[in-house]
Structure 1
């Protein structure tokens, strides 16, 4: 299979509003989801290289040719899965269902290779799995650690999500996958001109290869606008303080982003949680953002702004602070 680009130990940070999401391995990967990430990687690596994983033959009885046939079927089924498997149990059922006509020993050997539950260990899933996402959420992002350079002001940031994430893995364009593998190989050969050209191709497509803890990770880029708040612009009073507070909250952290929609600039509009803390709540309570009531009528956001006003903290130390949306309008009209 080669080791040009390995996603097995990519970050699978799963911050939730409840704090710690569980045990993690030496590279920060959730030990509960290593097998799912590895399976997703090997399926799409097969599409590029037509090679099955090294070491698989030690777990199964069929030939390499037969193994290749399994991965072709798994690739086709994975792309059609809506959504693709996210948990070890879902991944096991996916493999069992896709390869149900193959030898039991081979199916169980493949599951064992990825450390996924064997058939006898699976419990019957509930008739309808409840969702934990609030009403109106279109999708959820679990991000890689946030870079300080990706935070331009107090209400906007750029985040990256690993393509080993089940939601992303089935949507990576084939040419991006191939460019990532070729870039890694070019760097290994010290052909940096070729590597830079391939990296530009990747970034132009909305992706990036990140190096985290000496592991290369192909990630998708998302620009996010914090839903329901409007922080002072950088050149406005308290603009610098708002940016610094957001940096302090999220720099180097994995975030949970609940995306509700998209604005006219193509940014995701969402609620951001970091280590169980609601970021917009903190920005409002510290007087470093306005409640953007024209686009969000949540009572709690209005209450947090009112509390900061009463305490005269942050931008509310001024008796009549300029509203950022009015400041932007004046700039557009040349006032």
Structure 2
């Protein structure tokens, strides 16, 4: 299957330390993604990961049996494990009749907590930190390409299918196309590979290459919640797009998704290295507070600060509101 899906988002996104746990995991939660990736891989190839035998005592045949059980158990978890503790509990409970050395070796391989470090193993796994009210789900993106920024309030992002939320819902036709594309490329049948990639992109996915590694990723279009930037044909439209590009280009984003708009874009709050992107856009004067859809007082505060400083679009004496500009366009004015 080549390197498809072999790249983990954690490779780019702020490792917590310079130490490297087993299996190349760069920080704790990446072990969850690594396990999810390998279970997905196993369902397609029936192969367990290389290097596992160094940590366990049983045969490759026994290891394949573990991965078969774990893949079934993982798919039944709703939602799938998100934290190392949740993943560790799933492994221990699924393989509770197997040798202790094998279970602990498997956990060590992924850098997951060992049984004696977990509190009340038989009790339900603790819930993850609660998200803000109204958030439907959270995304952790791959680094953003500059071309993915459409304007000052819309950006296209990609999320690795190794992420626990994505790994359990990849359409089977996309899985198959990704494998067949890799095989076609290895055989230098690039026409077939391109046709298969079109199948993947038509389904809302894409195979991306980073540092000679390929990864299957899901595409999301994000509309920044609570702000409205000048359109490209308006004064400061170009500058707004440039500012958003500067904030997100080449960086991983955390996206809190609240819902979808009528254009099937996810409406969400964007964070990058702890910085709230909407706040930055408002304070620089490259967006309006979109009060019709978001009543947060802090957004009005940041807009008013920019107005007082005559920053960005507020340098104009009477800047046009983007929603009124769009209305005029629709009405042919």
- Whether TM-score is above 0.5 comes out as yes
CA contact (8 A) 1:157 1:224 kept: yes
Count of residue correspondences? 328
Task: Render the CA deviation track for 1:241-295: whole Å, top value 9, x for unaligned.
Answer: 1000001111001111111111000000001111111111111111111110000
The whole-number CA distance in structure 1 between the counterparts of 2:3 and 2:286 is 45
CA contact (8 A) 1:52 1:71 kept: yes
Match of 1:82 in 2: 78
The whole-number CA distance in structure 2 between the counterparts of 1:156 and 1:199 is 25
CA contact (8 A) 2:3 2:213 kept: no
Any idea what SS the aligned residue of 2:150 has?
Answer: coil
CA contact (8 A) 1:6 1:216 kept: yes
Relative to the length of structure 1, the TM-score reads 0.91
Match of 1:123 in 2: 119
- Show structure 2 runs of 5+ residues with no match: none
Match of 1:272 in 2: 270
The whole-number CA distance in structure 1 between the counterparts of 2:205 and 2:42 is 20
The whole-number CA distance in structure 1 between the counterparts of 2:3 and 2:300 is 51
Offset of residue 204 of structure 1: 0.9
Q: Select which of 206, 223, 226 maps to 1:225.
A: 223
Equivalent residues in 2 for 1:177-256 (5 A)?
Answer: 177-256=175-254
The whole-number CA distance in structure 1 between the counterparts of 2:262 and 2:313 is 27
The whole-number CA distance in structure 2 between the counterparts of 1:193 and 1:34 is 35
Offset of residue 58 of structure 1: 4.1
Match of 2:317 in 1: 319
The whole-number CA distance in structure 1 between the counterparts of 2:3 and 2:224 is 36
The whole-number CA distance in structure 2 between the counterparts of 1:294 and 1:21 is 39
The whole-number CA distance in structure 1 between the counterparts of 2:200 and 2:215 is 12
Match of 2:4 in 1: 5
Match of 1:23 in 2: 17
Relative to the length of structure 2, the TM-score reads 0.91
Aligned alpha-carbon RMSD (Å): 2.3
The whole-number CA distance in structure 2 between the counterparts of 1:109 and 1:29 is 15
CA contact (8 A) 1:138 1:259 kept: yes
Distance 1:14 1:271, change over 3 A: farther
The whole-number CA distance in structure 2 between the counterparts of 1:49 and 1:246 is 41
Q: Select which of 304, 307, 310 maps to 1:309.
A: 307
The whole-number CA distance in structure 2 between the counterparts of 1:64 and 1:255 is 39
CA contact (8 A) 1:13 1:144 kept: no
CA contact (8 A) 1:141 1:161 kept: yes
Distance 1:62 1:269, change over 3 A: same
1:330 aligns with 2:328: yes
